[in-house]
Chain A
Amino acid sequence: MSKLVIEAGKANRQYFKDILSYRELFLLLAWRDILVRYKQTVIGISWSVLRPLLTMIVFTIVFGRLAGMPSDGVAYPILVYAALLPWQFFSNTVIEGGSSLVNNASMISKVYFPRIIIPTTAMIVSLIDFLISILVLSALMVWYQHVPTWKVVFLPLFLGLAAIAALGVTYLISALNVKYRDFRHVLPFIVQVGLFISPVGFSSSVVPEEWRLVYSLNPMVGVIDGFRWAILGNTTMYWPGFWLSAGFAVLLLGVGIGFFRRMEREFADVI
């Protein structure tokens, strides 16, 4: 028979064991969110195709045509779309996950489970959108007759890095959202700014050489560069910047988990 000890002020040592034993709940919650997402909106799936597609068209016109940015030798739509894939994944996770705790307030105040699984499910839902977007990208590549190289096998690694960055930010924001309800008004603005300071509409090669390392402090720079490197095949990778991005993403995840765990104790009291 399992024995559980709850002691005041001590973080539960079994927390990560708990996460494992609640994996079914995690999967079911992810399944629920996916189901609801595609049941509720008539345009469900088409929306997750349409949104990045429209963004891609706008960015291609604004950055590619009007601003005349360099396209690194590939069709500009593909350049943009390869970056939109991880960006959409990141921003969807952060936006959905950021408000997920507040949206599930009734559950949090009535049942115990490791709360961290709630913002994490948002990532699974975004993953479905991501997979749909991959199909769209494949279609685009066929249209522009762009053949990927062997580097494409590294794509999952960069996706993993995107997940690490997204979860770190999501844990921070979801916990802040519980304590400060008006934080959700700030969130869309942050994501909006992130879209423009990350190299989504343009190639990061336009950033002056002496600033590239600083620019890479944004973890999404490393992720997006990695995606372009793996998909487009002919871009060169700025590796010091990538490792800095990756290291910063991991650090962010650590900070995010730590902060979440610290705040988690009072979720049920303040939510």
Chain B
Amino acid sequence: MSIIKVENLGKKYIIGHDRSAGRAFRSRSLRDTFTHTARGVYQRIRHPLSPNAENTEIEELWALRNLDFEIEPGDRVGIIGRNGAGKSTLLKVLSRITEPTTGRIEISGRVASLLEVGTGFHPELSGRENIYLNGAILGMTRREIKSKFDEIVDFSEIEKFLDTPVKRYSSGMYVRLAFAVAAHLEPEILIVDEVLAVGDAQFQKKCLGKMEEVGLEGRTVLFVSHNMAMISNLCRTGMVLNEGRLEFNGQVSDAVMRYYEATNQRDANHEREFKSNTAELLGAELIGLSNRSDITIHDELTVRMRYRIHRQVDGKCVPNFHFFVSDGGYAFLDSAREVTNMPPGVYRAECKIPPRFLNEGAYFVGVALTTYFESSPFEIEFFDKNALTFNVVDPMDERSNRYGYGGPIPGVVRPQLDWSIEKESQ
């Protein structure tokens, strides 16, 4: 029997556009509503015979549409999709924060949702008081919190500051305490939004371990993240959402691939054009991908862009590639070297990413062309920030230098440096 059963689920948001004012409006204030109504009445008086002088245009936005799925007890489900695909809305509907517009959900079991760490923390209260408060907000009973209190304090590593108001905590301590409470929830179903991307690396690892533990105990976990490595590590099944629809539901590795494919496809048929008076992007591609979007950590990857220069300029047109990690931060950027003044024509620029350089995970490549002038600073001709994506995977063979360790290895880069060990004395 499934633990969560979703039928024809939909969630609609209504966004109003005030036509006369030409801006989006959501009647957030009484004044707006009054002036809006007054204007309507005024219009009516001025043109009493005009057909319904309605000033607003209502736009409907379906954040979720026709979702049907079932989740079995003990499943660990990763929910992936681009920003605005409806992931967070789905979590909110499942955790009853907001009501669905259509459809039906059956949930058999206690749900705890963790959409943010430290919900309800009060800065004036002490760490001890906040543990009780936050625990209750997350759905723990007082008896449960009491019996786990020591564990929570232990996990958070803030024992010394237990009676200090949390407003005096460093942000690291704050997050550790908040996560410690959340980590000791024992619901049948745990719903987690991207909250693990906080704290220092060591603490993150601890949290990941705890999450895995929760999953192994047979609890059902729904997990949203942009970090494909984390999703692949933690989850067994994956659901891909796109514009509110369920695009794929199955094995997590297939889901991650589907996600990358969809991303690349969208980029293949650019809706937007990237060009200026001087130059234009013709295309970008990755060479060396083993299957779909994957490249193993031991292989070389070539990034290529083609562009046309329309006219001779008094500067150097320098192609550059920007590499972003999955949470949007920069991995690095590099520009072509020794560029000279280029006459008009079609060009191809390539750069090679050596093997054993980038760590496992998903990367996004932005392609750009920048003109550097002699006198004035520079000008960006085009910059497609989301041109390409690829996923670096570790085949976990003998070359991986893992000594049998199977967990995630932190860091953006994972170079193979020269090591030497010599025996110095007995």
Contacts and interface: CB of A to CB of B under 8 A. Distances in A.
Interface of A: 1-9, 24-25, 28-29, 32, 35-36, 39-40, 104, 106-113, 179-183, 186, 265-266, 268-270
B107 A8 contact: no
B27 interface: yes
A9 B100 CA distance: 8
B29 A1 contact: no
B109 A113 contact: no
Nearest to A267: B98
Interface stretch (B42-50, B132-140, B295-303, B412-420): B132-140
Given A110-B119, A268-B92, 13 more contacts: A4-B106, A5-B104, A7-B103, A8-B10, A24-B136, A25-B136, A36-B124, A104-B120, A180-B27, A182-B29, A266-B98, A269-B13, A270-B28
Nearest to B93: A6
A1 B28 contact: no
A218 B282 CA distance: 74
B29 A268 contact: no
A36 B99 CA distance: 32
Given A106-B119, A111-B113, A111-B138, A3 B99 contact: no
Contacts of B33: 180
B137 A25 contact: yes
B99 A28 contact: no
B267 interface: no
Contact of B115 (A7, A104, A110): A110
Contact of B136 (A28, A35, A36, A104): A28
Interface string B87-99: 0000011011111
A52 to B, nearest CB: 25
Contacts of A270: 26, 28
23 contacts: A2-B110, A4-B105, A4-B107, A5-B105, A8-B101, A8-B104, A9-B99, A24-B136, A25-B137, A28-B133, A32-B133, A35-B125, A36-B122, A107-B137, A108-B97, A109-B97, A111-B95, A112-B97, A180-B30, A181-B29, A183-B30, A268-B98, A269-B98
Nearest to B108: A3
Interface of B: 10, 13, 26-31, 33, 92-93, 95-111, 113, 115-116, 119-120, 122, 124-125, 129, 132-133, 136-138, 141-142, 188
Contacts of B124: 35-36, 39-40
B141 A24 contact: yes
B109 A32 contact: no
A182 to B, nearest CB: 4
A8 B28 contact: no
A1 B188 contact: yes
Contacts of A104: 120
A267 to B, nearest CB: 8
Contacts of A1: 108-109, 188
B103 A36 contact: no
Contact of B99 (A5, A8, A32, A40): A8
B119 A3 contact: no
Nearest to A180: B30
Nearest to B110: A2
B110 A36 contact: no
A108 B95 CA distance: 12
Contacts of A7: 103-105
Nearest to B143: A24
A80 B142 CA distance: 42
Please list the 4 inter-chain residue pairs (A to B) with the smallest Cβ-Cβ separation, ordered nearest first: A112-B96, A180-B30, A6-B105, A268-B98
B345 to A, nearest CB: 54
Contacts of B96: 4, 6, 112
B4 to A, nearest CB: 10
A6 B129 contact: no
Q: Which of A4, A35, A40, A104 has the most CB of B within 10 A?
A: A4
B142 A24 contact: yes
A111 B98 CA distance: 10
Contact of B28 (A2, A181, A268): A181
A8 B99 CA distance: 7
B95 A112 contact: yes
